[in-house]
Each structure stands twice: as structure tokens, then as C-alpha cells.
Structure 1
Amino acid sequence: MDPLPPGLGKPATRALALARIATLDDVRDRDLDDLLQLHGVGPKAIRILREALAASS
């Protein structure tokens, strides 16, 4: 299991943790547009997650 990528801000990391998302596998199971709705997750965090997902495929 790949951990969440470095570079995510603390607010985004906390928001993902509250949504029970701790690894890239957890992110793959979710719609990134839905994650953008989480308080603390912004466009930069989504870009970092997209890049990490692409690199891990």
C-alpha cells in the first residue's frame, strides 16, 4: 500500500484522515471531485493526488 504523497498540506491530510483515507489505494476508491468537497482539500491537494496516482500506476 502506497502512503499518501508528501506535499499535501496539513488541512488536506486531516480532512482525508477524517474521511478514512490513509493510502493511495483509499484515494483510488474515491472520486477526486468528491474529495475536493472536503473542507481542507483544495485544488493543489487534488493535483498532488492525481500526480501520485499516475506515478503509482
Structure 2
Amino acid sequence: MIALPKLAAPAKRALTSKGVDFLDDLSLYTRREVENWHGVGPNAIHVLQNELTKHHLAFKEEEPST
């Protein structure tokens, strides 16, 4: 398990309220889902994306619309 990076308090609270305690947990959610959580802003998304990439992880793939 990889620890979450340092984030602003609102983003950290948003993640933990959704059960995201480790960086690996983000693979259960799409980037769009995380962006829509109250408290997660563009800076937090940027930091999370960089950390995911650094550790060869990724957000969940978007489901194709039908």
C-alpha cells in the first residue's frame, strides 16, 4: 500500500470520507468521479495524477457511453 501524498485538508477529508486511505485505492474510481468530490480541486487532482503515474498506477478507466 502506498501512502497518499500531502494534500490540502479539504481534499484529504474528501478522500478519506470515500474510503480512500492509500494511493492504490484511487484505482477504484475514475478521475471524473474524484474531480466531482467536494473538496477535491484541480491542484489535488494534479498531485494525485502525478503520484499515480510515478507509482505506475492509474485512475479507473471510464466506462464507454452507450
| TM, length-normalised to structure 1 | 0.92
Quote how far apart the aligned CAs of 1:41 are: 0.3
Structure 2 CA distance, aligned partners of 1:14 and 1:35? 12
Counterpart of 1:19? 18
Quote how far apart the aligned CAs of 1:21 are: 0.5
- Which 4+ runs in 1 deviate beyond 4 A? none
Choose 1 or 2 for highest CA Rg: 2
Structure with larger RCO (C-alpha < 8 A, sep 6+): 1
Unaligned 5+ segments in structure 2 are 57-66
Identity %: 38
| TM, length-normalised to structure 2 | 0.80
Matches within 5 A, 1:34-45: 34-45=33-44
Q: Partner of 2:4: helix, strand, or coil?
A: coil
Quote how far apart the aligned CAs of 1:20 are: 0.5
Structure 2 CA distance, aligned partners of 1:35 and 1:19? 10
Greater share of helix residues, 1 or 2?
1
